[in-house]
Structure 1
Amino acid sequence: MKTAFVAVSAVVIMFLTPTAGVASSNADWAKRCQVEHASLGYRNVGQCVSTYARGGGTVTGPASLTLTYEMTACAAFPQVQCIWSVQGSGLDPGSKVVVGGVDVLHGAEATVGTDGTVNVRGLFMLGDCVNPGFEIHHFVARGVAPGGAAVTSEVVTGDVTQFVPLCA
């Protein structure tokens, strides 16, 4: 089985976990947000404070998404074969990562966990064959960092005929 593996990281680093000497209370966090909200990846002070107040202060590290072209068991139906998997970290907890074609903004969705990570294998079901003209896929994964910055994987091209034949 051939697998394409490409990763990209956004240059947005979040340090949201209160630590000794840094923001240790809501008031301390509010003061830190006033000074550092932009460098923490937030659009404004309110977004920074709101994220911390709702418990979003657990994501650390650079936001990244990795899209992998592989055949694996489907996430929703393990007895069926699927293609495309996505892994990511440093993402906005509870947000959606969308995997789809480069020219469209919709596709298969995966929910980011409370720790800011996503790891879903087998997003698109394979049929018994592929119609001519639909065998090549140019896909991308799109998500968001806690501050709202866009996080996008590299474009990965997959040829479905690696796994199923062309339809007659």
Structure 2
Amino acid sequence: GTRMEILERIESWIRGTSTVNRVLWIRGMAGRGKSTIASTVAHNWQLRASCALFHFRRGQNALNERIVCALARQLGSSVVPEVRNAILESVRENEDIADQRLSVQFETLLVAPLSTLKRQPHTILIVVDALDECDNPKDAEDFVKLIDRHSSSIPTNVKFLLTCRPEAPLL
């Protein structure tokens, strides 16, 4: 029913060639299936292309601070060799990256390696679920701002699927 329609619309957005709409927000009340949709989409894409998924969890501060490292680790095991190699090279060159600020991690582990893949045709999907559950709302806000700030450096085949509750002040 409705969930299948939503999944089809997301699939169409992922496959689309728009260079403008590279961030898709799924907003909805608690318990409406946002996490299920995010997980389903990520699972479907992990088998075909490059995909990373991060679920924020309220009260798991240490985990929440590791979002960029977690996303990079997943892209580093991508089925697409070019993506895997670019990410792993960046990780190897920056062993202390986990101790750096969020912006430095984002630029080093995502922007720099992904920007080398401009002619790589495969979709790279980054799914971040429950942004509103990040223990530090400023971190979630900063993450969204980093996507926006670096969108011109990141290739157009990189897409971000973000979920949150409607009251979250993240847009």
Band of TM-score, shorter chain:
under 0.3
TM-score scaled by length of structure 1? 0.23
Q: Higher relative CO (CA 8 A, sep ≥ 6), structure 1 or 2?
A: 2
